[in-house]
């Protein structure tokens, strides 16, 4: 039977991409019985009933599975943030990074709207924090073209998903790497300091230089309600690196004695702001458990 990749899902139909073109399919009833749900990004086997129409008969094993946005087999998260309009929110940036780390995605941080930045020291402080954790950081501007070729190179041969607060320029970046796309973009509200979501459904886009991007409405679930406190440290690479040196197994790096992580913070080997966000996220998980 033929195979392909689901690239779009609309009103119960799954559009399966093959070398010969897209086939519009429905899913067999067996999926409901097994409580399976095909996702955009799934590799599937299908049965073609007539030209351009068919039924999905089997799902191939997934490498990753995101819930919000619902997309399968993503390799990489491009976490997008702007330093201006809207201003950078480091706590929110780290929140996105935690969710990407938990899903075992490779991460690229993409800073946008560099043409609006007047003080280079602000950029230097961000680079100092995140390059120390070995996150690749790209600086971009869709108006000057800065960093667009580097972004294309980072997307090559990967299935990537863009994550970031509304208004930071995710759709504008996609338009820059795939000009024929013509995605709608939303202006940033001067009053609220944020943009409007402009993407309404998940769709996989093929890039001309190779690779794919899952255009999504964004990560709409950013709480930690389904996480345990002991998981959080694994989602901060620098904390995971130092934690084996702690005296106690299961150390949460809060008030425990002989904590290697707290020592690394005091010695400047772990960013104080990243550590504060880690503690804040732990407290959020604890509060959620109470209610």
Annotated ligand binding at 169? The verdict is yes
**Euclidean distance between CA atoms 170 and 124, whole angstroms:** 22
Annotated ligand binding at 1? The verdict is no
Question: What residues contact 251, with CB distance under 8 A and at least 6 apart?
Answer: 243, 259, 261
Annotated ligand binding at 172? The verdict is yes
Residue 9 CA, chain-centre distance (Å), reads: 20
Annotated ligand binding at 251? The verdict is yes
Question: What residues contact 139, with CB distance under 8 A and at least 6 apart?
Answer: 111, 114, 123, 146, 147
Annotated ligand binding at 167? The verdict is yes
Annotated ligand binding at 250? The verdict is no
**Euclidean distance between CA atoms 168 and 4, whole angstroms:** 33
Residue 52: other Cβ atoms inside 10 A: 12
Annotated ligand binding at 180? The verdict is no
Annotated ligand binding at 125? The verdict is no
Annotated ligand binding at 189? The verdict is no
Annotated ligand binding at 165? The verdict is yes
Annotated ligand binding at 171? The verdict is yes
Annotated ligand binding at 112? The verdict is yes
Annotated ligand binding at 271? The verdict is no
Angle between helices 272-290 and 90-102 (to 10 degrees): 70
Annotated ligand binding at 82? The verdict is no
Annotated ligand binding at 211? The verdict is no
> Token pair for residue 145?
């073209």
Annotated ligand binding at 114? The verdict is yes
Annotated ligand binding at 246? The verdict is yes
HSE value, Cβ hemisphere, 13 Å, CA-based, for 79:
23
Nearest partner of 221 among 108, 96, 103, judged by Cα? 96
Annotated binding site: 112-115, 164-172, 246, 251, 253, 259
Annotated binding site for GTP: 112-115, 164-172
Annotated binding site for Zn(2+): 246, 251, 253, 259
């Amino acid at each position: 039977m033929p195979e392909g990749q689901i690239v779009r899902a609309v009103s119960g139909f799954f559009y399966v991409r093959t070398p010969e073109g897209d086939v519009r399919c429905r899913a067999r009833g067996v999926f409901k019985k097994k409580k399976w749900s095909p996702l955009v990004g799934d590799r599937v086997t299908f049965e073609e009933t007539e030209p351009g129409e068919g039924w999905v008969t089997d799902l191939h094993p997934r490498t990753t599975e995101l819930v919000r946005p619902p997309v399968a087999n993503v390799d990489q998260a491009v976490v997008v943030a702007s330093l201006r309009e809207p201003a950078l929110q480091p706590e929110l940036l780290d929140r996105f990074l935690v969710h990407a780390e938990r899903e075992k995605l490779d991460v690229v941080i993409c800073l946008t709207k560099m043409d609006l930045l007047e003080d280079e020291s602000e950029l230097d402080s961000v680079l100092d924090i995140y390059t120390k954790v070995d996150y690749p950081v790209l600086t971009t501007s869709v108006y000057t073209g800065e960093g667009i070729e580097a972004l294309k190179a980072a997307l090559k041969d990967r299935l990537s998903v863009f994550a970031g607060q509304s208004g930071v320029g995710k759709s504008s970046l996609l338009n820059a790497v795939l000009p024929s796309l013509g995605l709608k973009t939303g202006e940033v509200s001067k009053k609220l300091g944020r943009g409007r979501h402009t993407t309404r459904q998940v769709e996989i886009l093929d890039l001309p230089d190779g690779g794919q991007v899952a255009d999504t409405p964004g990560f709409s679930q950013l709480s930690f309600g389904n996480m345990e406190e002991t998981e959080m440290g694994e989602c901060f690479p620098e904390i995971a690196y130092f934690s084996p040196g702690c005296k106690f197994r299961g150390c949460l790096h809060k008030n425990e004695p002989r904590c290697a992580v707290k020592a690394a913070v005091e010695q400047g080997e772990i960013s104080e702001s990243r550590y504060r966000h880690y503690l804040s996220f732990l407290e959020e998980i604890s509060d959620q458990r109470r209610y």
